[in-house]
Structure formats: structure tokens, C-alpha cells
Amino acid sequence: MKHNMQAGAGTLEGSGAPGRVRRADPASGAIVELPAFRSRMIGFVLSHEQFPVHELVSLGEEAERAGFDLISTSDHFQPWQANERHSGEAWVTLGALAARTRRLWMGTMVTCPTLRYHPAVVAEAFASLSLLSPGRIYLGVGSGEALNEQAATGHWPAWQERWDRLIESLTIIRALWRGTPVKHQGKFYQVDGKLYDVPSDPIPLLTAANGPKAMRLAGAHGDGLITDPQTWKEYKGEWEAGAQAAGKYPAEMPVMTELFVVLGTERDAQRPAELWRFLPKAFKGYQNIVSPSDVEERAAKEIPLSKVMAEWLISSEPAKHVQKIQELRASGISIVNIHSGQEDQRAVIDFYARHVLPELRISTPLSAH
């Protein structure tokens, strides 16, 4: 089955029916219809924590040729753990991929537009990215982690202020994307100017959340959601309630998650699990730690590898990968990002191209270019 992208429209035809995202324009109250995220998409995660930028660009190209629909990049100043060893600039990677791909949706999972980045700069950067990749850029946002925000700025406010800043930032970003002059005198930010190069298409703004309060806020203020499968299972209703209270249609809004996979056995997964050992406590305390070395040390003491691997799909059987993705879709998750901590990322891309994506009827791999 082939993809067909209408030029500049961001509409993909494939196995899933198009799902539109609508929101009310803050200035006029008019309903804005965003480019469609297909209701069933499979993405591939480019981990800036684990690989250098030039390698990630190459992997992004291969992911498109393999038939993935989307790539998500982490956006960090430092890696979560020091042993991951890398932390390139996400927007540089996206800019390079814009020139080397023609079909993939691309975006961050996630950018914090509050401290390390001023929201006006985020608005400008993603508007420019959308001009390089018309109809295929999204922006994932979140309230941040200390290892990025405090490490780069010396400032790390309490949870409520971080979310208040995030909400104000989204107001600024959306206003600037309209291209009209913005005079904003807010609690945290002052903006007096305009973007002279606005997005080629409306940019979906997905908001990350990992707890009940954050899920409700994400529903109210985002165009879609980024979360983990367990949070989705427990607090889906909070997100839906927040969206509905804001006059939105949760069933039409994209929900994105990560599926950690390892090809092989638990023995093969041990090395990747060492690199991503923090995951069970990433947003249960570790988000307040500034030093990647401290995160690594605490995770080694507090989190057994078996607990990390328990949440992963560890198998070389294609049917198990297909089944897991189908289960996530059945729960209401529309975008599944495949994330593997394995050193050989190309083996994972090739495995999905040959054995998994065809079964899910996602796409036909592009010919080499």
C-alpha cells in the first residue's frame, strides 16, 4: 500500500482514516483545522542521548526509506545518564533531515519552551522548519527536566510554575505563528514583535504529560498528547476531560507514545537497559536531578535491570511486535514511536521494514535515493 501526500497539505492516505485536529483560534475564536496526523502511524525515535547528530540524520533517512511515517527526536541539553554519552541539538538534526527526506513527519518529543528556550525563539525555529518541510512538522512540548533547564539556566521552579510557564508559552507561540504583531505582557514573558516568516501549514502542538494533573492540563492546552502507555491507561479520562472542557474533540486528537523494543533475548537487552535504567523513575523524582552522573548512579542503586526490561518488548518474533502495536492502538493510542536502545539501530529499522510494517499495512518502503 502506497502513501500519497498532497503537496503542502500534510494529508497521508494509507491504512488509517485521516484524523483532523481542530482548535479555536485565540484571537478570533474561529476553528482552525490542523494538518492531519493519520489515525495509525508508526514512528522511529532518534535518541540524541545515545548517538551523535550525523548518525541520527543518517538513521532518519533510513527510517523513511524503510516505510516509517514519522520520526521523533529527543531535545536535551544533557543526556539523562552520563553513560549515554551524547546530547546534540535537536533542531539542527531536524533541519538536516528536512533537506534529506520528503515524506516523514518530524518533530520533538519533547521541547521545553520555557527556560532554556524562550517561547518566541521556539515559535521562530519551528516556523522555519515548517518552511523546509511543508505539512510535516509537529512540535512536542513539556514542562522540562532539571538536567536540561536548571543545568543551562540555573533556574528550576516548582511544578506549578513550570506548567504556568508552559501554558503561557503556548499562547505566545500560537500568536506568533499567525504572523500578526504580538504585544504580550504576561506573568513570565514579554513579547513585542512578529514573525515575518510564518509556518507553511498549521503546526500540531502536542503536549507531554505523566500524571493526572498534567494530563488534564495537556488535554486543555494541547492539540494532542505525548505520554507513556501506563499513564495513558490510568489517566486517559483526565486528558479527555481537559480537552472536552476546552471545546475540543479528544477522539480526533493524536495520542503519541514510545514502545521500547529490543531484538533478541533479555541478555541482548541488558546493555540497552543500562543506558535507559532511569526510565521507571524518569518523572517520579529524577526529573529534579541536575547531573546525568547522579541520575545514572541513583538508577544503578534503585532500579534493577529486570524492572526496566519488564516494560520493554524483547523479541525477534515479528508477530509479537505486530500484536503489541495493535494492542496500543486498541487502547486509543494513534502514534506509536519505536525506540530501541540497541547499538545497531539499522537492524531494528530493517526488521520493521521487512517483517512488521508490511503486516500493519503502514507503507511501502521508498526506493533508495
Q: Which of 84, 145, 168, 296 does the annotation list as catalytic?
A: 145
Phi-psi region of 71 (alpha: psi -120 to 50; beta: other; left: phi over 0): beta
Identify the three-state secondary structure at position 10. Answer: coil
Between strands 18-24 and 31-38, the pairing is: antiparallel
Between strands 70-73 and 31-38, the pairing is: unpaired
DSSP-derived secondary structure letter, 18: E
CB 28 within 8 A of CB 220: no
CB 219 within 8 A of CB 211: no
Alpha-carbon span 17 to 44, nearest angstrom: 21
Does residue 76 carry a catalytic annotation?
yes
Q: Which of 49, 61, 76, 124 does the annotation list as catalytic?
A: 76
Does residue 64 carry a catalytic annotation?
no
Nearest to 47 by CA among 341, 352, 347: 341
In one letter, which amino acid is 104? L
In one letter, which amino acid is 245? A
- Give, in degrees to the nearest 5, the angle at Cα 140 between 138 and 142: 165
| Residues carrying an active site annotation | 76, 145
